[in-house]
Amino acid sequence: MAGQGRPKLGAQRTVTLKDVAALAGVTPMTVSNVLNRRSGQVSAETEAKVNAAVERLGYRPHAVARRLRSGRRNAIGMLVLDDVPAFLSDPFTNQVISGLSNIAASQGYTLLLQGVRYGNFEDAPLLAQLEADGVCALLSGTPQQRRSLLQRLMKLDLPLVLVQENIVAPGVCTIRQDDRGGAVEIARHVLARGARRIMMLLPAEEWPAMNEREAGVSAVCAAAGARLEIVRCGDEGLADTQAALAVAVSAAGLPDAIIGGNDRMALAALNWLAAQRVPVPDRVRVTGFNAFDFAAYSTPTLTTVRSAAYEMGMRAAEELLLAFRTGSFSAPDIVLPVGFQPALSS
């Protein structure tokens, strides 16, 4: 089959900056100003003319050379540490990246995306060669693994934004959502509906956001004298969650409410309760966390907390762009609000 579908790799590229300038009726310096995003120096009308000429002629400036001269790479690196091959499947992850990508693109920045498996040392050279002006990272794994990756990232000596972490380190900006506040609201909601025995579903592995959610629920239950049992659900997938729930219920009986550490575990619980013919919410109230699309598809629809994932991605890009311009972030630790989203499961 070789020879079919041959890319035109050898085609000539003859269009120059001067051609673009001539077609747009401006000077080459003006074209350069537009291409280098010094748009304060040209009118919107001129910019549109130049862009139209670039588009019409198919002009591709030698951006590598241009960036070498400017010392800027005009790129943001996005690193996702996850041991799952499909590292973009998690709605939280892909919404953060969508938000970041959209802001970056709107400011003429390229997004360099890389999934990193923990302990994959072959990634080290690629990380070291990352051609970005700054980096946003989503860590995962044990606290020790996170610290180790953070140290490696700090060696890059670039502005660094961590999403959903609460580490204080020089040159690092953390952007989190108010997981504790959301959890407080969820816990108050089920207590107000009369629940006194609560089970909270959490993954086996601890991480900052889950710890915050646990702390919020725990504080509300303690203050109200309600009983809280933490159920560790392995990898938080369907099988692990349902198995852990079955063991917990067989030992302690059905609770009045099941608070999922996230929607995924809550949906697994809803599913398991349906199979056991336990009425929801009449017998057991169920809630999730991080309302993504599929919360609306469950029967009954899932009470949950709307995540700020997309907004955190946008804010991460904005903070990096600010650091590129001014040398500093607006704050070392930024917390964005979440929204309580009641539905029929509670």
Q: How far is the CB of 185 from its own copies (least distance, A)?
A: 24
Q: Is 61 in the site for its own copies (CB under 8 A)?
A: yes
Give the Cβ contact number of residue 331 at 10 Å. Answer: 11
Region binding its own copies by CB under 8 A among candidate stretches 156-164, 182-190, 203-211, 251-259: 156-164
Window 255 to 294, contacts with its own copies (CB under 8 A): 267-268, 271, 274-275, 292-294
126 binds its own copies (CB under 8 A): yes
Tokens 């302690």 sit at which residue?
252
CB 159, CB 133: distance < 8 Å: yes
User: Which of positions 72-101 make contact with its own copies (CB under 8 A)?
Assistant: 73, 75, 78, 85-89, 91, 94-95, 97-99, 101
Q: Which of 14, 45, 121, 250 binds its own copies (CB under 8 A)?
A: 121
Cβ proximity to its own copies: between 191 and 295 the closer is: 295
* Residue in 131, 206, 229, 235 binding its own copies, rule: CB under 8 A: 131
Taking the complex as a whole, the smallest distance from the CB of residue 338 to its own copies amounts, in Å, to 16
Other beta carbons within 10 angstroms of residue 179's beta carbon come to: 26
Choose between 173 and 210: whose C-beta lies nearer to its own copies: 173
Q: How far is the CB of 172 from its own copies (least distance, A)?
A: 7
Exactly one of 26, 42, 111, 191 binds its own copies (CB under 8 A); that residue is 111
Positive or negative: CA dihedral 114, 120, 125, 128: positive
For the CA atoms of 135, 136, 142, 147, the dihedral, rounded to the nearest 10 degrees, stands at 40
Of residues 291 through 310, those in contact with its own copies by CB under 8 A are 292-294, 296-299, 310
Measured distance CA(318)–CA(100) in Å, rounded = 8
Q: Which stretch binds its own copies (CB under 8 A): 8-16, 180-188, 253-261, 279-287?
A: 8-16
Sign of CA dihedral 143, 335, 96, 264: positive
Q: How far is the CB of 340 from its own copies (least distance, A)?
A: 20
Give least dist CB 222 to its own copies, A.
Answer: 32
- Among the residue ranges 71-79, 198-206, 251-259, 282-290, the one whose residues contact its own copies (CB under 8 A): 71-79
Site for its own copies in 225-254 (CB under 8 A): 238
**Closest by alpha carbon to 177, among 336, 292, 316?**
336
136 near its own copies, judged by CB under 8 A: no
CB of 96 to its own copies, least distance (A): 9
Judged by CB under 8 A, the number of residues near its own copies is 97
Cβ closest to its own copies, residue 332 vs residue 342: 332
